[in-house]
C-alpha cells in the first residue's frame, strides 16, 4: 500500500552511531509515499514534519514510475546538499531547494512557509546536518544580507539573485543518464 499526501509534510530519516539524524527523503502535498519504504536494510523512520493528511492509494504503473523518479531525484539532491562543506552555503542551498520544491514562486523569488512545514531552527539543523546554533547564526547572517527575508505569516522569502551567479539554465538529466548522453 502506498500513501498519497493531501496536506502536510513527511520526512524519512536514519541515524548514525552518535544518534544524529540524517534526512533521507522529504515529501509534501501531492506526493506519493511508496509502500516499500520499510523494506530498506538500513534503520529508518518515517514521520511527519507537520500535521499531515494521508490516504491509502494504489498507484498506477505511471504514477509509480513518476514517484520513483521524483524520490530518486530528491534523495540525490538532499545527499548532494548534505555534502557541501561550508555550513552557511549548505544552509542557504537547502533553504533554496526547500523553497523550490515546496514553496511558492513570485516575482521576487521563492517563498517558503516555515510555519506550514514546521521548520524550526532545530528541524532545519536536522535537515542540513548542522547544529541549531549554526542555523540560527546563518539565518541571521542571510537576513542581514537580504538573501533571506522574513515575511508575514512565517514565510521566508529567498530572493532571485541572477547577479549572484545563480544558474539560469540547466540541463535536465534523468538520474540514470550519464552527462555525455544528456541533451
User: Could you report the average pLDDT of every consecutive run of 10 residues in the chain (183 residues)?
Assistant: 94 90 93 72 84 94 94 95 96 96 93 94 95 97 94 89 44 47 47
CATH of domain 1-83: 2.60.120.10
Strand partners, 52: none
- Tell me the Cα Rg of the chain: 17
* Predicted pLDDT at 39: 53
Closest by alpha carbon to 99, among 65, 137, 127, 63? 127
| CATH class of the domain defined by 86-183 | mainly alpha
In the chain, where are the structural domains located? 1-83, 86-183
**CA distance to 78, 87, 143, per residue, from 90 (Å):** 10, 5, 16
Q: Specify the residue for cell string 530572493.
A: 159
Amino acid at each position: 500500500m502506498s500513501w498519497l499526501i493531501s496536506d502536510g509534510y513527511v520526512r524519512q530519516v536514519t541515524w548514525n552511531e552518535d544518534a544524529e539524524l540524517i534526512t533521507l527523503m522529504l515529501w509534501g502535498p501531492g506526493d506519493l509515499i511508496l509502500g516499500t519504504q520499510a523494506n530498506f536494510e538500513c534503520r529508518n523512520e518515517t514521520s511527519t514534519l507537520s500535521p499531515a493528511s494521508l490516504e491509502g492509494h494504489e498507484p498506477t504503473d505511471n504514477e509509480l514510475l513518476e514517484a520513483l523518479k521524483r524520490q530518486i531525484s530528491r534523495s540525490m539532491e538532499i545527499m548532494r546538499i548534505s555534502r557541501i562543506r561550508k555550513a552557511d552555503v549548505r544552509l542557504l542551498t537547502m533553504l533554496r531547494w526547500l523553497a523550490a520544491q515546496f514553496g511558492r514562486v513570485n516575482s521576487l523569488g521563492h517563498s517558503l512557509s516555515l510555519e506550514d512545514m514546521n521548520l524550526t531552527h532545530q528541524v532545519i539543523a536536522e535537515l542540513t546536518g548542522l547544529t541549531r546554533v549554526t542555523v540560527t547564526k546563518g539565518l541571521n547572517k542571510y537576513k542581514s544580507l537580504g538573501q533571506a527575508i522574513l515575511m508575514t505569516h512565517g514565510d521566508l522569502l529567498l530572493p532571485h539573485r541572477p547577479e549572484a551567479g545563480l544558474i539560469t539554465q540547466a540541463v535536465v538529466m534523468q538520474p540514470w543518464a550519464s552527462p555525455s548522453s544528456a541533451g
